[in-house]
Structures are given as structure tokens and as C-alpha cells.
Amino acid sequence: MNVAIGGDLRYPFLHKSPVESTNSGHSCVRITRSLRAEPLLSVIESETVTAEEAPSPSGSISRRLILLRHAKSSWQHPSLRDHDRPLSKTGRNDAVKVAEKLQQMGWIPQLILSSNAQRTRETLDIMQEQVAEFLEAEVHFISSFYSIAAMDGQTAEHLQQAICQYSRDEILTVMCMGHNKGWEEAASMFAGASIELKTCNAALLEATGKSWEEAFVIAGLGGWKLQGIVRPSSDL
């Protein structure tokens, strides 16, 4: 496993100029299309979807994005900072279940971008222990994922910029791990529908593009296809 600890992404999308991807050499263009949310998707069962099942127009490639909220954390240590809270027993069990379901569905990330909070790190550790394929992913811990999730309307574009910065064209599946309210807000904005992400829920999103930059430009806000939501309690 390749692990890098990233510093704060200082919200480059707040500037007018595009931010260059450090890997692919493409510019990452800001999303500006407005969002009109559909009614709440209260129950969305996970479904098996592989990249081969979705034909790509004009030679574009399917790009799959997993937005995973950390597993349930413990409140038994009130002296700990929120950033340092570990998982509860329920959270640890849920992380195992979600890892197994993502493996069964074939949604194994090649790139993992995660908050550096203890509960997201521990969620990832358990998933890697349960499913060895998760160990093959390139991993970056991004401290700003923790703080950005608390800011209204900021997370979707911040995730876009981070993905464009750390990904390469050959990476087809990216998983971003973080916190509410930002994660379910970002999932809702990408899919164009109101999505609820409880702890250890993962929204599976798909778009097409020859690069991640192109996929974000083509899909914009509201154009990502929601392929399902993986929950510890849901059946495949």
C-alpha cells in the first residue's frame, strides 16, 4: 500500500484560476451549474454494477466515485478531541460488512482519499484488514477533509479538486472517506437528488470521461448517476 499524508488543500476552488492536476497534467475546471434536488431517496438498495456494464459514449471511460462516511464512533472518552474519537464496537463491525459488500460488487478503489481523523483512519484500517484488495490502493490522508465537511456548500467542489489533484487517467475508481454534513451534501449535489448517508454508508456514483477532469466537466452537478447506496444492514 502506498500511503501519503497530504497537508491542507487550501480550498483552491475559491480562486478564479483553474488548479493544475499534479499527475495527469489536465486543468480541473470548476463546477458552476446550479442544482435542483429531487425528493429524498430514503431507501436505495445497493446493486452490483461493473464498469463493463455501462457503455461509454464517444470512447469515454466509466469513472466510479465512492463517497463513504466513516463508521460509527465512540463517545465513551469525553476528554478526547472530536478529531481523535475512535470507532465503537458497532462501527468496527459495520466497517467489516461494508468492505465485504464493496468487494462483492466489484467496487474496489484504486485511489483512496481520506480525512485524517481517527475514526476515518480506523474505518480504513478495518476495511483493509478484511479485504486485502483495499491494501493495493494508493492512499492519501487529507487534513482539510475533516474541516471542510462542516462548511455549507463547500465539500463537493473540494472533493472535485482533490480528486483531480491526486488521480491519474488510468485510475477508474476513487473512494473519498469523510464526515457529515459535507459527505451527504456532496453526494446529493453530484447526483442531483437528496441523499442520506448514515455512518458507514457509501454512495456509489458514476460518470464518463477520458479523464477525471473531463468526467467532472461533462457531469457537472447533478449529472453523476447514483448506482446505489451500500449500507451495513442492506442486502446485496
Whether the CB-CB separation of 215 and 233 falls below 8 Å is answered with no
**Amino acid at position 17, single letter:** S
Between residues 134 and 33, the one the model is more confident about = 134
pLDDT tens, position by position, 149-164? 999 899 999 999 999 9
pLDDT tens, position by position, 175-225? 999 999 999 999 999 999 999 999 999 999 999 999 999 999 999 999 999
Average pLDDT estimate for 47-60: 46
CATH pick for 41-74+85-230 out of 3.40.720.10, 3.40.50.1970, 3.40.920.10, 3.40.50.1240: 3.40.50.1240
d(CA 173, CA 212): 10
Strands 193-195 vs 38-41: parallel, antiparallel or unpaired: parallel
* Among the listed residues 110, 224, 121, the one whose alpha carbon sits nearest the alpha carbon of residue 167: 110
> Looking at residue 80, what is its pLDDT?
84
pLDDT tens, position by position, 85-105? 999 999 999 999 999 999 999
Task: Output the average pLDDT for the chain.
Answer: 82
Residue 83: band (very low, low, confident or very high) from pLDDT cuts 50, 70, 90: very high
Q: Which residues are annotated as a binding site for substrate?
A: 119
d(CA 190, CA 205): 8
Grid cell, residue 197, equals 448517508
> Looking at residue 41, what is its pLDDT?
32
Residue reference for cell 478526547: 80
Q: Which residues are annotated as a binding site?
A: 119
Whether the CB-CB separation of 47 and 226 falls below 8 Å is answered with no
d(CA 235, CA 46): 7
> Looking at residue 52, what is its pLDDT?
39
pTM: 0.77
d(CA 88, CA 94): 10
Q: Domain ranges in the chain? A: 41-74+85-230
